[in-house]
Chains A and B, each alone.
Chain A
Amino acid sequence: MSRKDPQGPSKGVSSTVLPANKLVVDGVSKWFRTPRTTVHALDNISIEVSAGEVICIVGPSGCGKSTLLDIIAGLTKPDTGRVLADGELVIEPGRQRLMVFQEPSLFPWLDVFGNVMFGLNLCPELTRAERVETAHRFIALIGLENFEHAHVHELSGGMKQRVALARALAPDPQVLLMDEPFGALDAMTREHLYDDVQRIWHDSGKTIVFVTHNMREAACLGDRVLLMSSSPGRIVQAFDIPLSRPRSIYDAELVGYAARIADALRGRTGGGVPE
């Protein structure tokens, strides 16, 4: 698959934002109004992500991480602020920003192959043969070539998340949004997936926003880790993780970074570390 030039092409209006910023979140706030209360979910969030960068967002449960990803994806509208992708205002979901969701999102009426084909079928620039070939290639990439025609309910939790990853990667999005994709998996499966994910990312060079509530996961996967606090959701601190890749979750330096993030969070919340 041909990698798109990270500098463009930005279709449409030229903008004042530097093109090197693949993704710009600019002063985004969000309130949820229910009949009983109003939740201030996000407060003036600003993030800049450059092309090919991996950003991890960590924070306690309920601090607004999913809401932020939804807004970046274009599934939810912010109350204030805006999101720019390639300098263009995000007003609706688009296949340049694909998402791996927190909850199971594979279509049960399709098998593994059908699920991976779903996004490819919406790529008018590909021929039928190219779509099929791409689907096979991504299913092989996640190591499920023997499960192409398995139904969703026949897969383990880890396999489902791999398929969700392949489904999001196959249409070659420029930005990948991942919302606690491994949150529901056991530690062993998760660690195995870190290796896979780092290998796939390295090969594809995608811009990635990865949400987690696990400090070590964040330190392992991110070039940069943003720490969020809750009520209202704010970005309180940023950490650069200048470690070489591939990284091991047991690497002493990496654990050191994770501890520093955890300390920062503890300082904010005064409680234990959510894990």
Chain B
Amino acid sequence: MRRFIAASIFFLGLLTLWQAGAESGRWSPVLFPSPWSVGAYLWDALLDGTLLEAIWVTLKRLLVGYTVGAMIGLPLGLLASSSQTLEDTLGALALGLQTLPSVCWVPLALLWFGQTEGAMLFVVVMGTVWSVIIATDHGARTIPPIYARAARTMGSRGLHLWTMVMLPASLPFLVSGMKQGWAFAWRSLMAAEIFVTILTGFGLGQLLHYGRELNAMDQVIGAMAVIVLIGLLADRVLFSPWERFMHRRWGTNIG
């Protein structure tokens, strides 16, 4: 409760400051809209459906891209962890490409795929897959071998060993790998939506982009706020339950 009050005071203070700045008249309201006008914009956009539509389009792209990226990244990460040669080749490649900011994939995607959904998907997958590979690879290497040894003496083999021991033993790093992949997917998608201005779907990034084109600062800030909110919410809904589970079981804050 104390923490909640402290947080409320802090954020209300920020809003007040913002409001005071806008009211001071020092900056043009076109470039520095008040929180009220941003709120009004969001409310209107919510009512006329553009906001929900944009959120829906964005989430759809995010989920598809993330799922594809994770489904490629997880097995490749496990593969990389399984042999030194694969680690030196695949692992090194992933490490190198992971340092590339995902927005750098956009020119390549545009040349290959043009202004299409495919280009967008490509950027998100490229942004996700390398970090998932690295996190999975690293995690799989750190599973204590004792678990598999103990299970094997008790007669666990093959599929049973993988599903009942290796999978749960790897839960901490799987979750941290998936979480990292999520963060990267989200960032890549925003980069892609701002640069790939196709008309097959109007996402949050495009809302941001056209806000700039139209000099509609309330739209720009409103879209940014929504993007932050979705990022936070996804973390809460998708990963917090797993992290709480692991905290209870393992007794430490891993992942």
Contact = CB atoms under 8 A, between A and B. Distances in A.
Contact of B252 (A73, A93, A153): A153
Interface stretch (B10-18, B145-153, B195-203, B226-234): B145-153
Contact of A93 (B147, B152, B168, B251): B152
B72 interface: no
Contact of B154 (A92, A109, A119): A119
A104 B150 CA distance: 10
Centre residue among B150, B153, B250 by max chain A CB count within 10 A: B153
Contacts of A153: 249-252
B151 to A, nearest CB: 7
B157 to A, nearest CB: 9
Nearest to A111: B249
Contact of A108 (B149, B154, B249): B249
A107 B149 contact: no
Given A75-B153, A119-B155, A151 B169 contact: no
B141 interface: no
A98 B154 contact: yes
B153 A107 contact: no
Contact of A75 (B149, B160, B251): B149
A171 B169 CA distance: 22
Nearest to B250: A108
B153 A93 contact: yes
Contacts of B250: 108-109, 153
Interface string A90-107: 001111011101011101
A103 B146 contact: yes
Closest 4 CB pairs of A and B: A153-B251, A119-B154, A95-B155, A109-B168
Given A119-B155, A122-B156, A122-B160, A105 B150 contact: yes
Given A75-B149, A99-B150, A103-B146, A109 B249 contact: yes
A154 interface: yes
A107 B249 CA distance: 10
A118 interface: yes
A153 B164 CA distance: 19
Contacts of B146: 101, 103-105
B26 interface: no
Nearest to B252: A153
B224 interface: no
Residues of A contacting B: mostly = loop
B110 interface: no
Interface residues of B, number: 21
Contacts of A95: 153-155
Determine the interface band of chain A, counting residues with CB < 8 A from chain B.
20 to 34
Given A103-B146, A153-B250, A153-B251, A109 B152 contact: no
Interface string B231-255: 0000000000000000011111000
Nearest to A99: B153
B171 interface: yes
Contacts of B149: 75, 101, 105
B165 interface: yes
Contacts of A75: 149, 152-153
A242 to B, nearest CB: 32
A97 B149 CA distance: 13
Nearest to A94: B155
Interface string B109-149: 00000000000000000000000000000000000001101
Contact of B251 (A104, A154, A167): A154
Nearest to A97: B153
A98 B249 contact: no
B154 A107 contact: no
Nearest to A153: B251
Interface string B152-184: 111110001000110011010000000000000
A109 B147 CA distance: 11
Given A75-B152, A93-B152, A95-B155, 4 more contacts: A74-B153, A107-B165, A119-B154, A122-B160
A253 to B, nearest CB: 35
Contacts of B165: 107
Contact of B171 (A93, A94, A109, A118): A109
Contacts of A110: 168
Contacts of A73: 153
